[in-house]
A and B are shown apart, each in its own frame.
Chain A
């Protein structure tokens, strides 16, 4: 089953607002990734993080790999309508099975 807890589960914001979401786990992960899924499509990779404490940006998106290795954060600045979708965090452990585990997603809705 799922090992990652994402919050919030859903967000309703106004266009232009900043967005923050996070992902936590009881286990340590060595890689954290953030994906976005549009309706009827597969998830698309947004940002990958490989080192504890790492802060990485991709345009208006910024993600951080928590120093404890048990959490990650995604921020979106100045939201626009095309940011609508479901955002998934995913973590991968190197020890043992190299399985990528996904959170349950944060659904972002933007009011124009």
Chain B
């Protein structure tokens, strides 16, 4: 069974440019998460989807970040415009249920903003 697939693995952009990350969760997993992981830190939740509905986006900086999961399967996270402080790893995860914390993570997309 395929795991959570993310792309791109690495992205280097200049500040003020836009960037987008894509995630395909494990088949059958209704819950999808985007996490931000800064160097030396644990993951921090940006947004959680139950099917196509964003049920927790309280930590998403909505002035520059947006996300969508139109058909309740794959998802896109966008940053526009990117800032130097956005350099981090963006992790996507999925689960069969949001109740118990058993998440399956992708390999992450490492963003470097110059």
Q: Which residues of A contact B (CB under 8 A)?
A: 1-2, 4, 31, 33, 40-45, 48, 50, 88, 90-92, 94, 97-100, 102-105
- Which B-chain residue is minimally distant from A1 (CB atoms)? B44
Chain A residue with the shortest CB-CB distance to B91 = A42
A42 touches B42 (CB 8 A): no
Choose from B40, B41, B101, B107 the contact partner of A100 (Cβ within 8 Å): B101
Q: Which residues of B contact A (CB under 8 A)?
A: 4, 33, 40-45, 48, 56, 58, 91, 93, 98-108
By a CB distance below 8 angstroms, the chain B residues around A50 are: 100
B102 in complex: contacting residue of A33, A88, A103, CB < 8 Å? A33
Beta-carbon contact of A48 and B41 below 8 Å: no
Contact of B43 among A43, A44, A94 (CB under 8 A): A43
> Would B101 and A92 count as touching, CB distance under 8 A?
yes
Residues of B within 8 A of A2 (CB): 41-42, 44
B104 — nearest CB in chain A belongs to which residue? A45
Q: Is A41 touching B107 in the complex (CB atoms < 8 A)?
A: yes
- Report the bound CA distance from A90 to B56 in whole Å: 18
Chain A nearest CB, measured from B21 CB (Å): 13
Q: Is the CB of B56 within 8 A of A104?
A: no
**A residues within 8 A CB of B103?**
43, 45, 100
Bound-state Cα–Cα, A50 to B101, Å: 10
List the B side residues contacting A42 at CB < 8 Å. Answer: 4, 91, 93, 105-108
Which residues from A are CB-within-8-Å of B4? 42
